[in-house]
Structure 1
């Protein structure tokens, strides 16, 4: 597994102790290039994959003029009197074209999706027609020439781009490509992401806790986050605070992965070895950001793999993943347009305390107040170790670096977790 990673030379033009969130995003994006490798897969199995080339329409969609309604098809030249009377000479069903000639004064019964026969150009809904035997009557009121007809190529013209390169395939794309008669498409290979946690204090789920130990939750949060992005991921477990053990895992992970994500071990404690190992095995772009939670965040490379060293606190892991890692993985996977959390403005239901100097991402709850207006409040304890705050929250309250404390009723920017409320 190899891919291009441009030389990193960012050590002289910024202070890593005060790197802003925007600058960190800019630096990361500078080194992101979609990984090499493609495969041809069936559109039936293509959900969540990323297209590697434009998909062009080999024919019009729809490929013929067809009826948008159950009704009667006739020629608009009949619209000469207030009341129209026509003779029905047959019926047209979807999949069964009508080949008989249609003379003046005649119409055909037509079903939704059926091909519009030669000689007619307008369809009236059956609910607007009175029929007796083979005779129909309807009023010439507000009838428009060509109404209730879907024209060939109305959806997609032959030769047009039906699905763009770098598009994540959704169920709608699957149906659209199938409507073109295309059975297989070219997609980027799946991104490979290795992840692990570091720390002597960590105990894996299912094991008995020893004195001073805690259960490792970060790998489970990371597994969920990575799975939601539909990458191929590999769990390297819990790695102890030992330089040799870390070095071995880094080596093994870099042989397999395009990206390595760790949690813990990137602060300035005596047992935090990751920054030194990054310098030894690869390159360091930055390792600290002026944000809360998540100040200790390392980015660089280990051998030829991109590396994100996330903080050890559970909330900080999730915040930094959403703010930095998610975008990077989407670009590396070949997406032309990446997913960003929807950002809107709401009034605060309660005051918020903040000291200027760092950008904060507080966990928040968007809800309706007593007047039925949408507003937002913090979840309560904003400690980066309180993971329950992420289960309660439905948004991040984004507080700029220069921002201080805010009062009830002030407007704040909010990043919604699940679309627009």
Structure 2
């Protein structure tokens, strides 16, 4: 066990190497889900001008203050103002102006009478209910004032923040870009889904699994075709992809076999570390920098469960660091184990399980799914969490609390 490094040590090495990408102004929709890299102060007020909250009539309040159903007020209608069609800028006492929702209130108006309180007259209007002073007028600056801080540096840009930025006239905001992630699967036995299988071949699930996970993490993903077990072919494929990569993920070829060409090819560079991490699954790992631009590369194990767990524990935090998203790693949740489990000593085990939230329970139930085999992708698909068993724990009884990583939760 002495040759294995801990999960924390390896993750610290990764996060100490990977750097946040440089920020620059991006179109609003491109910044969705990313943290702002600047404070944004509004250059305008919202509303920009006093405007009507109702379809109705702009009036002088004093003219209609006494209006009732039994004693209505009659006023001449001297004009009409639609949203974006404001040609009438002022009105006189003793008159009414038809006005639509959102249209600017003319000077001299201090109340809006909704259509429902009138006979909807065209040349003359009969007002049968009085508004209060200022009623149904949205005053300028009621929502946002010039100079207000509307987005703070570091805050996450969601749909509501994007809408607010657009409302004050911003079409761009400074954020770090989504990292461009290249995913490469290696293995002469691999075949593309949708093509025939030979007696000794399997479909390439890993590249789809990892590409989908990276995309869900917010990255721009390029899934590369299968690379056979040949060192020259792998080096050529990697060199071709580095031009468009901020980060590279490979799967397979990192153990101790005769055809583990990823380790063979990259070890010569002297910039990629290969070794064992005290975890199950996912013991064989590789990480380092390649190419002139020192692009980070993760070389993950070939078994799909090992590859996916490695992504969640190591690659996901790196992608989030590149985007400036905090926290880097998934937070732990807690649950009650429904069945007893065992774990090898000295290894942190990540066990597939189903996390079941029930309103009748104070703590969610956590049910192990399938066996411990790192090839069991069917069990992985049925899981929605990973039970994290510490290195010094070899068994946990049913009914005990466990730490879990909830795989489908946004954070």
Shorter-chain-normalised TM-score: which range?
0.7 to 0.9
Matched residue, 1:313 = 303
The alpha-carbon deviation at position 17 of structure 1 amounts to 0.9
Q: Secondary structure at the match of 2:211?
A: helix
Partner Cα distance (2:232, 2:120) in 1: 91
The alpha-carbon deviation at position 377 of structure 1 amounts to 2.2
Partner Cα distance (2:198, 2:370) in 1: 30
Number of positions where the alignment pairs a residue of Structure 1 with one of Structure 2? 397
Check if 1:220 corresponds to 2:247: no
Q: Closer, same or farther in 2 for the Cα pair 1:379/1:266, shift >3 Å?
A: same
Q: Secondary structure at the match of 2:181?
A: strand
Q: Closer, same or farther in 2 for the Cα pair 1:258/1:99, shift >3 Å?
A: closer
Q: What whole-Å deviation, never above 9, does each CA across 1:317-354 have from its counterpart, x for those lacking one?
A: 2222223212322432x445567657544444x22403
The alpha-carbon deviation at position 360 of structure 1 amounts to 3.4
Matched residue, 1:64 = 49
Matched residue, 2:408 = 417
**Is the contact made by 1:52 and 1:188 (CA closer than 8 Å) also made in structure 2?**
yes
Matched residue, 1:29 = 15
* Counterpart selection for 2:245 from 257, 272, 275: 257
Matched residue, 1:18 = 5
* Counterpart selection for 2:289 from 290, 295, 301: 301
**Is the contact made by 1:204 and 1:238 (CA closer than 8 Å) also made in structure 2?**
no
Q: Closer, same or farther in 2 for the Cα pair 1:345/1:64, shift >3 Å?
A: farther
Q: Closer, same or farther in 2 for the Cα pair 1:95/1:329, shift >3 Å?
A: same
**Is the contact made by 1:347 and 1:412 (CA closer than 8 Å) also made in structure 2?**
no
The alpha-carbon deviation at position 371 of structure 1 amounts to 5.4
Partner Cα distance (1:368, 1:336) in 2: 27
The alpha-carbon deviation at position 307 of structure 1 amounts to 1.0
The alpha-carbon deviation at position 197 of structure 1 amounts to 2.0
Structure-to-structure mapping, 1:316-331, within 5 angstroms: 316-331=306-321
**Is the contact made by 2:219 and 2:319 (CA closer than 8 Å) also made in structure 1?**
no
Q: Closer, same or farther in 2 for the Cα pair 1:202/1:236, shift >3 Å?
A: closer
Instruction: Output the TM-score relative to the length of structure 2.
Output: 0.74
Q: For the aligned residues, what is the CA RMSD?
A: 4.5
Q: Closer, same or farther in 2 for the Cα pair 1:95/1:337, shift >3 Å?
A: farther
Matched residue, 1:378 = 368
For structure 2, the residue ranges without an aligned partner over 5 or more in a row are none
The alpha-carbon deviation at position 189 of structure 1 amounts to 5.6
Structure-to-structure mapping, 1:49-198, within 5 angstroms: 57-70=42-55, 90=77, 92-97=81-86, 99-101=89-91, 103=93, 110-119=99-108, 129=117, 134-138=125-129, 149-160=137-148, 162=150, 172=160, 175-183=163-171, 191-198=179-186
Q: Secondary structure at the match of 1:100?
A: coil
Q: Closer, same or farther in 2 for the Cα pair 1:153/1:161, shift >3 Å?
A: same
Partner Cα distance (1:182, 1:269) in 2: 56
**Is the contact made by 2:274 and 2:284 (CA closer than 8 Å) also made in structure 1?**
no
Q: Secondary structure at the match of 1:322?
A: helix
**Is the contact made by 1:88 and 1:109 (CA closer than 8 Å) also made in structure 2?**
no
Partner Cα distance (2:39, 2:278) in 1: 40
The alpha-carbon deviation at position 263 of structure 1 amounts to 0.7
Structure 1 residues 307-316 or 400-409, which shifts more? 400-409
**Is the contact made by 1:364 and 1:376 (CA closer than 8 Å) also made in structure 2?**
yes
Q: Closer, same or farther in 2 for the Cα pair 1:194/1:76, shift >3 Å?
A: same
Instruction: Output the TM-score relative to the length of structure 1.
Output: 0.72
